[in-house]
Structure 1
Amino acid sequence: MAETLHLEVVTPEKAVFSEPVDDVVLPGLLGQMDILPGHLPILSVLGVGEMIVTQGGKTRHFLVEQGYVEVFNDRVTVLTEGCSGVSDIDIERARRDLERYETAMVELEERSKNEMVPEDIFEQHRLALKRERMKIAFAKEGKIVE
């Protein structure tokens, strides 16, 4: 059994992370997943949440958006729509975006009283609200990304 995992995190824009790690915790749809060396192969969906990476006794925190994770032969590949550290988050922009999505959600709810609004539109807005709320909370907590 290997003593480390190779973690690779890729967004549509770029490869964010590609390093050996001791442990990675990811936000699964049903809760956190802790991936250690020797983990059984899996393919799973990720939700919006915190990714915690441990390397040589140091812990690093990232905010990841929805995506997928594949674990195979001590390689962990995360394909996500976004991955950022606390220093990458523009908290004022996140607040403006949150306000905009909250307003849009109220408008959608009002519109749905008179016409059929597809559920996937609501789901997209709920996900956007969660993402912006998590950005604000993540930045306020001051998680350190080294």
Structure 2
Amino acid sequence: MDNKYHLEVLTPHRKFYDGDVEEIIVTTSVGEVGVQKGHIPMTVALGIGTLKIKNDNVWKEASISNGFMEVKQDNVVILADAAEWPEEIDIMRAEAAKQRAEERLRQKKSQHEYLLAKAALKRALVRMSVAKKYKNI
């Protein structure tokens, strides 16, 4: 029995993933959601976190941030602001982004700037975590 469905992940800059998968687990705005073939149709907002893709009983993980996921009976489309495989993540750049975000959080700015800095910090931490997990750093 074929337990695969089609997954397409698009960012503003590229087609990040386009292929058949067995299962995904993605970070949404309210927690993680797993999707297998035949999942109930839904549309959900994505958060800052990870996208785990299972294909041929092997899991791959990527960092992903913000966007939407549309689940249909036999396919899933994810539109994300950004998505990166571990080998694409520049850890030094992520560390610099983390330090900039932490500095902006220390400054007493507006609520809007505070929320932007918190999001930037979370993105940097997720990117660093994914990269370190798979680069053996």
Letter in 1 for 2:98: L
TM-score, structure 2 as length reference: 0.92
Note the residue ranges of structure 1 that are not aligned, 5 or more in a row: 112-116
2:113 matched residue in structure 1: 121
| Residues 143 and 74 (structure 1), Cα distance of their counterparts in 2 relative to 1, 3 Å cut | farther
Letter in 2 for 1:135: R
Identity %: 26
TM-score, structure 1 as length reference: 0.87
1:78 matched residue in structure 2: 78
1:114 matched residue in structure 2: none
CA deviations 1:60-103 (Å, max 9, x no partner) are: 11111111100012211110011111100100011111111111
1:7 aligns to 2:2 (yes or no): no
| Residues 46 and 133 (structure 1), Cα distance of their counterparts in 2 relative to 1, 3 Å cut | same
Over 4 Å off, 4+ runs: none
Structure (1 or 2) with the larger CA radius of gyration: 1
How many equivalent pairs are there? 136
CA displacement at 1:48 relative to structure 2: 0.9
- Structure (1 or 2) with the greater strand fraction: 2
Partners of 2:26 and 2:135 lie apart in 1 by 16
Note the residue ranges of structure 2 that are not aligned, 5 or more in a row: none
Partners of 2:20 and 2:60 lie apart in 1 by 13
